[in-house]
Each structure stands twice: as C-alpha cells, then as structure tokens.
Amino acid sequence: MAVRGVSLEYRTPERVVRATHRIDLDIHRADRFVLLGPSGCGKSTLLKSIAGFILPIEGEIVLDSRRVSEPGPDRIVVFQEFDQLPPWKSVLDNVAFPLVASRALGRREARERARHYLDKVGLATFADAFPHQLSGGMKQRVAIARALAMQPRVLLMDEPFAALDALTRRRMQEELLGLWEEVRFTLLFVTHSIEEALVIGNRVALLSPRPGRVRAEINAHEWGLHSLGGETFQAASRRIHRLLFDDGAGTVASEEGAG
C-alpha cells in the first residue's frame, strides 16, 4: 500500500482544519507498520482515509495498484471503543456477520471461519456469549477476530488497547504479536505511546502535530516485549521522544517518560 502526498482536511462553515499535510508512506506485505504521534496529529484521520471514509484533498492512497476511493473488505478497522460489537448478536454471530453480509461466505462457512478465528484469539468457549458478558479485553479480542476473519489485505487498528488497564494492555500486545507470528497479516497500527510503537512495530513513522507530517521513519525490528526496560530500548525511546518534541509542538503520552 502506498500513501502519496496525502493531505486531509475537515471543513466546517467557519473554518478549515488541515489534519495531515502531504504524507508519504509505503506499507509492505506483512509489515507491522505503526503511526506514532501526539494526540491531534491526524493519526485517526489518516487511518480513516486509508479505510476509505475520508478522501484526500491532495495526493492518493493506492492498494494493490488501485486507488482507494471508498471503504472495502480489503481494509478492516479495529477501534479503541469497546462498543464496536452489536450487543444483540452472540460472539460467534458478531464475527460471522460481516462475512455473510459482504457475501464473502455462506452462513455455514462463515460460522466455521468465525470459530477458527475465535479459537485463535482464545475465545472459542465464548462463542455463544453476548458482548455484555465479556470484559473490555475480551471484546477487543472479538473485534480483532472479526477483522481477521475478513482476511483483509491490511488490518487497521486505531489505538485498540488505549482504553484497557495496563496489565490487560500488555497481554493484548503479546497476543497481537503472537497472532501476527501465526497469520502474518499486514498491520497498520496507530498509537501515541512510544513504548507500544516500538513493541508492536517493525517500522514506525513519527508524525509531527498540526498538521501531521512524517517527521522520521524508524526501523523497530529489533524491539519487542523482550526488550522492555533494556538499555537500548530506553535509548531508542528517548531518541524518539526528542524527535517528536524538538520543534516544541505537542506532547506525547508521558507514561513512557524520557527516562
């Protein structure tokens, strides 16, 4: 997938807000590509544009040589909110429904595939439960299973673990990486946490605020959950912190600290 010179704006009768300015990105198959930047720098807007919900005012987004102009089953988004799941559908039906609705599969095959992915996220025994019976972390797992079941070309995640408590968040990061090892999907992951970016990503694009521009791209291959707390990891976090802060604009989540 290629993002080429993409600028995005919100227009209201009173004013125009430029959310991103001429963003260039290349995302390769099986990348775990992270967009990292302070709150308000246009990460969600860019993700929505890649998903096809917002059209660029300049530039283009190309997936498999086709220009993105609308939402499609090749790009599925997992959001931060826990209420992405229709509450009246069982867990299994939540995962199977988009497969049937998009006519990707018939009802039987859809339920089979749904079970397969529920199993992968450790929720096989909750297939008949309803969303209100699940914890926040479990609901996020269902949302991930539902997205993966569609077998998108790229899975888009917008701060999917930001609303979880610290321990659950860590476990979800671990699981996501485990899932990736197994399925090798292409991931575009948004976060404002430097630590999360380094743990999840193999490549990290740093966005500067207002409007979001690509400030640097970092190779994050060597870092994972195993490197947390290590010296080189801390040094990398500090370097990124400086890169994001140096023009004095915006703030990045301080939980990581600069050490």
Ligand X SMILES: Nc1ncnc2c1ncn2[C@@H]1O[C@H](COP(=O)(O)OP(=O)(O)O)[C@@H](O)[C@H]1O
Q: Which does 250 bind (CB under 5 to 8 A by kind): ligand X, Mg ion, none?
A: none
102-141: which residues touch ligand X (CB under 6 A)? none
What's the closest the beta carbon of residue 42 comes to ligand X, in angstroms? Answer: 4
Sole window of 35-43, 57-65, 89-97, 147-155 interacting with ligand X (rule: CB under 6 A): 35-43
Is 44 one of the binding residues for Mg ion (CB under 5 A)?
yes
Secondary structure (H, E, C), the chain: CEEEEEEEEEECCCCEEEEEEEEEEECCCCCEEEEECCCCCCHHHHHHHHHCCCCCCEEEEEECCEECCCCCCCEEEECCCHHHCCCCCCHHHHHHHHHHHCCCCCHHHHHHHHHHHHHHCCCHHHCCCCHHHCCHHHHHHHHHHHHHHCCCCEEEEECCCCCCCHHHHHHHHHHHHHHHHHHCCCEEEEECCHHHHHHHCCEEEEEECCCEEEEEEEECCCCCHHHCCCHHHHHHHHHHHHHHHCCCCCCCCHHHCCC
203 belongs to the binding site for ligand X (CB under 6 A)? no
From the list 36-44, 147-155, 220-228, 235-243, the region that binds ligand X by CB under 6 A is: 36-44
Q: Which stretch binds Mg ion (CB under 5 A): 18-26, 36-44, 56-64, 214-222?
A: 36-44
17 versus 124: smaller Cβ distance to ligand X: 17
Q: Is 20 in the site for Mg ion (CB under 5 A)?
A: no
- With CB under 5 to 8 Å by kind, the binding choice for 10 among Mg ion, ligand X, none is ligand X
Per CB under 5 A, residues contacting Mg ion are: 44
